[in-house]
Amino acid sequence: MPRLDPHSYFDTDQPRTRHLDLDIAVDFARKRVTGQVTLVLDRPSSGPLDLDSKGLAIASVRTDAGPPISYELSPEEPILGSRLRLMLPPGTGKVVIAYETGPDAIGLQWLAPEQTAGGRHPFMFTQFQPIHARSMIPCQDSPMVRATYHAAVTMPEALTAVMSAGPQDAPAGSAPGTRTMVFDMPQAIPSYLIALAVGDLASRDLSPRARVWAEPATVEEAAWEFAGVEEMIVRAEQLFGPYEWDRYDMLVLPPSFPYGGMENPRMTFLTPTLLAGDRSLVDVVAHELAHSWTGNLVTNATMDHFWLNEGFTVWAERRILEALHGEGAAAASWSIGQTALAEAIARFGADSPFTVLRTHLEGVDPDDVYSSVPYEKGSLFVGLLERTVGRKRFDRFIRAYIERFHFTSITTEELMAFLEEQLPGVAAKVGAEEWLGQPGLPANAPVFRSASLEALTSLAEGWATGARPAAGQLATWSPGELLVYLQHLPRQLDAASCRWLDETLNLTSRGNYEILVEWLTIAAGSDYEPVFGRVREVLMKVGRMKYLRPLYGALGKHPRTRKLGREIFAAAAPTYHALSRRVVESVMEKYDG
């Protein structure tokens, strides 16, 4: 039985799900989702149908006509979960599964009222990438399988639901004290892009096709921060073709959301750390928007090909930034990404198989090897292709790539065959085999330079010899340029240097978390006590993995900061997403003493 996805029980010889019909209730008291899913198959079938599940309690399985279907739930495997094998009677086109989620479903996070901005109502959100849809829905949880979906969601009447789908008129007849909301997703998507959030939510329109959702306490702030999203969409369409998802809505989640953003179609999830108050971080949205073409339209077939999603998207994000803000902004973004890539390669080791692009992750939990490598090394490879053939020719290639593979899930090998068809000989010219199959960063990696970047890095690298920015220079720096400067400073400084930086650049009070966390990482790694309170404040509030890893890592460098790190984690861990806890635990394993 062919299983081409090492992270799914999906069997390519069996029928595929072409549509899911969810009818579920969100039970905050028990922290469970209960209900049923109807799987509509691509053809009438008989015999075994293997589904993914993790921690689910299966109540019954039947055909849509009513007769029960026999099933077997295998013992749970740590990474894959349990195989749910159904034995379909002849001619089965639909199966109906009644079930309930488990108490520790990794794809769901339940927040108490005090963990929200409003403090009055609970909140729940999903995070299914890479392989966690199976913890809420028994399904073929592989990006190889794309399906449309319909959902009816019942919740406490004071709350509102949003999904990666279009809202429809709700039916009457909800149980007392509840309300039901209905959603439709007419475009076929992989299971990891199904998304649900339920909480005390309000919205503001940003354009006829864009809206932002957030808790009432932060919705006005979010609407101001993201007011320019329509221009982003227009610029992206000019680069990559029509936006095919009808709407681009966004949800600003509570601070425990573990990622910067998640590109769920029609409803991008965003961290509240983007609400800097000066629109200095809204360009993060460009990445999630770019996924509307690279990732959501053209999707990696399995996690072994994850770089197809993220490498192309980081490259596309920087093209959008260049169109909006010029080459300097794009160059700064490339520089920041290069630093993140160097840190990831150093963490894994330059010879690690987790620093190749086309990975082989059988037996490996993709969450455990999540890093900047597929993002930044992947984008450098795409950028190298662009430089090699020229921008105009490569832009034609990208349009053709999206058109050929849109609404499909592909492998690296399929991309490379298409590259050879469209741009013969280019793969060999750039050494594609080394990029795709060898660890580390190839010597022909492109470097994105600008005069301002060269000046910033030179100034930072001259710190030990007394080089300091002048007041006139500081006044002209953008947030991205300041971040580049901080990234190139020594990781440990004496107290006088830390004090000068903080007083001169006003760092500890920054609302821009990219700058703030970079500074706190330097200061904590330097055992600079005046920032300890701010470090505690950030780590107690924010669950974004990108920030937790460097901050807890910096705290591990000195005896008293290790003690501080352990104290903070003991208090903060219950508020972190399970993925974030795993990241911090992996960092703290390296603490000694």
- DSSP for 111-180 reads E-GGGSSSSSS-EEEE--TTTTGGGTS-B--STT-EEEEEEEEEEETT-EEEESSEEEPPPS-PPTTEEE
Task: Give bridge partners of residue 184 from the DSSP assignment.
Answer: 150, 166
* Ramachandran category for residue 239: left, alpha or beta (phi over 0 → left; psi -120 to 50 → alpha): alpha
Confidence (pLDDT) at 505:
94
Name 398's Cβ contacts closer than 8 Å, sequence gap at least 6: 239, 240
Confidence (pLDDT) at 283:
84
CB 358 within 8 A of CB 307: yes
Confidence (pLDDT) at 285:
95
d(CA 340, CA 333): 11
Q: Is 576 a catalytic residue?
A: no
d(CA 576, CA 259): 12
Burial-class residue 68 by CB neighbours within 10 Å (0-12, 13-18, 19+): exposed
pTM of structure: 0.95
d(CA 583, CA 330): 29
Average pLDDT per consecutive 10 residues, the chain (593 residues; last block may be shorter): 89 97 97 98 97 98 95 97 98 98 96 94 98 98 98 96 93 80 97 98 98 97 97 98 98 94 97 94 93 98 98 98 93 94 96 98 96 98 98 98 98 98 98 98 93 90 93 88 94 96 95 96 98 98 96 96 97 94 94 70
CB 436 within 8 A of CB 380: no
Confidence (pLDDT) at 593:
52
Q: How close are the terminal C-alpha atoms of the chain, in Å?
A: 50
d(CA 467, CA 363): 49
Confidence (pLDDT) at 453:
87
d(CA 144, CA 419): 21
Pairing of strands 298-300, 408-410: parallel
Cα torsion 61, 63, 66, 70: sign:
negative
d(CA 149, CA 407): 15
Catalytic residue among 263, 288, 310, 514: 288
- Alpha helix locations (H) across 164-296? 219-225, 229-240, 284-290
Catalytic residue among 99, 192, 259, 375: 375
Cα torsion 388, 391, 395, 396: sign:
negative
All domains of the chain, ordered by start, with CATH?
A: 1-103+127-185 (2.60.40.1730), 201-292 (3.30.2010.30), 298-437 (1.10.390.10), 490-588 (1.25.40.320)
Task: Tell me how far apart the 2 most distant CA atoms of the chain are, in Å.
Answer: 80
Confidence (pLDDT) at 15:
97
Confidence (pLDDT) at 172:
60
Confidence (pLDDT) at 2:
72
CB 47 within 8 A of CB 79: no
Map tokens 């963490």 to a residue.
347
Vertex 68 angle, CA 63 and 69, to 5°: 75
CB 139 within 8 A of CB 220: no
Q: Is 288 a catalytic residue?
A: yes
d(CA 470, CA 489): 16
Burial-class residue 315 by CB neighbours within 10 Å (0-12, 13-18, 19+): buried
Q: Which amino acid is at 45?
A: S
